[in-house]
Amino acid sequence: MIEPPDYPGKYIRHNARMAAAGVRVRLGGHPKLRKQARAAMKALGGGLGYAALIEPQWIETTQVNIGIRDFPSSINGYKIAHLTDMHYNIAAGKNFLQRVVKKTNALDADMVALTGDFIGSDPRKLDRCMAVLSDLRAPDGCWVVRGNHDHHTTVEHMRAACREAGFHFIENTHVIMKPTRRHNHRHPFVERDDEASFAIAGVGDLWEGDCRPGLALQGLEDGKTPVVMLSHNPHVLDLLLPHQRVDLVLSGHTHGGQVRPLGRHFRILCDGSTKYVSGIVENNETRVYISRGVGTSAFRLRWNCRPEIALIQLHRAGGTSTASSTDGFSG
């Protein structure tokens, strides 16, 4: 047995040389170094345990206020619950998703937006995921677009799964939403307005070459109708032309970076982008809200980037559209 030197500067080099020579090395020759090494190992183990077992299950609900030009005042305060990137798997399976559904239903939203990546790579998980999500409740229904991972199965499978769950699949099309509840959260007894409406548009996934905003917005060229667009990939913002009115895009895809030590993110989990990571990104009249998503992919870890249910509230704005800061609350 050869004792390593007591000098910290030579410690690592010495151990590496001994290990390379096939000599058995006793770790931590110096008591102080040994103590520091043990503390570092404990911290690393604890951090990994937290990132693997605790934070991915620790759901946060985020409130977002979006001011939209000419939004009908009789539906001021319209609420959309936004879920994305479920990635149904063992870690984020039935029990976890049931908690997500329960929390989402408790928000009493007018509609639910589901912006893709229901599965990882196993197409058989789609039906299991949809079976749990089918318990989502909202008067104006649940609206679906696909993410890149959902292309591990066919579009026919997705359509059938949506039909079974009672969801609306709106890839590269739009519908005019006539809200069921005519309310104004500031003035609850506002006069009923049967003309109150806005468009909900959906686009396919950008990575899969299915993102066609022109097709989704066909018929809305006059720019008079407020538009909320569902797009798995937030980069759709770069595809919108100046004459295409889109007030708000709801997106996911990045998982917020998923692992963000000291507030930074690994770009590999952010689609290589530093612009589109999480929260609100603005460009002229269009706002994109990028949710951190519900599940995980690649590594089943989250650090400083909790799973998110976003509650988006739409308000009437005077001149131009606006977006306010977000307030998260735990759940």
Task: Tell me how far, at minimum, the Cβ of 93 lies from Fe ion, in Å.
Answer: 16
Q: Which is nearer to Fe ion, 117 or 308 (CB)?
A: 117
Provide the total of helices (H) and of strands (E) in the chain, helices listed first. Answer: 6, 14
How many residues line the site for Fe ion (CB under 5 A)?
2
Q: Which is nearer to Fe ion, 85 or 110 (CB)?
A: 85
Q: Which is nearer to Fe ion, 85 or 247 (CB)?
A: 85
Task: Tell me how far, at minimum, the Cβ of 85 lies from Fe ion, in Å.
Answer: 4
Task: Tell me how far, at minimum, the Cβ of 53 lies from Fe ion, in Å.
Answer: 20
**Residue pair 109/81 in contact by the 8 Å Cβ criterion:** yes
Task: Tell me how far, at minimum, the Cβ of 35 lies from Fe ion, in Å.
Answer: 42
Is 171 a binder of Fe ion (CB under 5 A)? Answer: no
CA distance readout (Å), 149 to 146, 152, 205, 267:
8, 6, 9, 19
Task: Tell me how far, at minimum, the Cβ of 211 lies from Fe ion, in Å.
Answer: 15
CA distance readout (Å), 267 to 51, 252, 280, 297, 302:
18, 15, 18, 14, 14
Q: Which is nearer to Fe ion, 110 or 117 (CB)?
A: 117
The interaxial angle of helices 94-106 and 125-133, nearest 10 deg, is: 30
Among 129, 137, 61, residue whose Cα is nearest residue 89 = 129
Q: What is the DSSP string of 53-66?
A: IIGGG--EEEEEEE
Q: Which is nearer to Fe ion, 115 or 321 (CB)?
A: 115
Give dist(CA 141, CA 23) in Å, integer: 67
- Phi/psi of residue 63, nearest 5 degrees: -105, 130
Among 68, 89, 86, 88, residue whose Cα is nearest residue 77 = 68
Side chain identity at residue 305, one-letter code = C
For Fe ion, the binding residues in 110-139 under the rule CB under 5 A are 117
The position carrying tokens 């007894």 is 189
Q: Which is nearer to Fe ion, 235 or 316 (CB)?
A: 235
Residue 129 CB neighbours (<10 A): 22
Task: Tell me how far, at minimum, the Cβ of 194 lies from Fe ion, in Å.
Answer: 39
Binding mask 30-69 for Fe ion (x = CB under 5 A): ----------------------------------------
Q: Which is nearer to Fe ion, 59 or 215 (CB)?
A: 59
Q: Which is nearer to Fe ion, 61 or 297 (CB)?
A: 297
Task: Tell me how far, at minimum, the Cβ of 84 lies from Fe ion, in Å.
Answer: 7
Q: Which is nearer to Fe ion, 309 or 323 (CB)?
A: 309
Task: Tell me how far, at minimum, the Cβ of 147 lies from Fe ion, in Å.
Answer: 6
Give dist(CA 159, CA 46) in Å, integer: 43
SS3 label, residue 272: coil
Binding mask 68-87 for Fe ion (x = CB under 5 A): -----------------x--
Going by DSSP bridges, is the β-strand pair 78-83/322-323 parallel, antiparallel, or unpaired? unpaired
Task: Tell me how far, at minimum, the Cβ of 259 lies from Fe ion, in Å.
Answer: 14
Where in 70-139 does DSSP place strands (E)? 78-83, 111-114
Q: What are the residues binding Fe ion (CB under 5 A)?
A: 85, 117
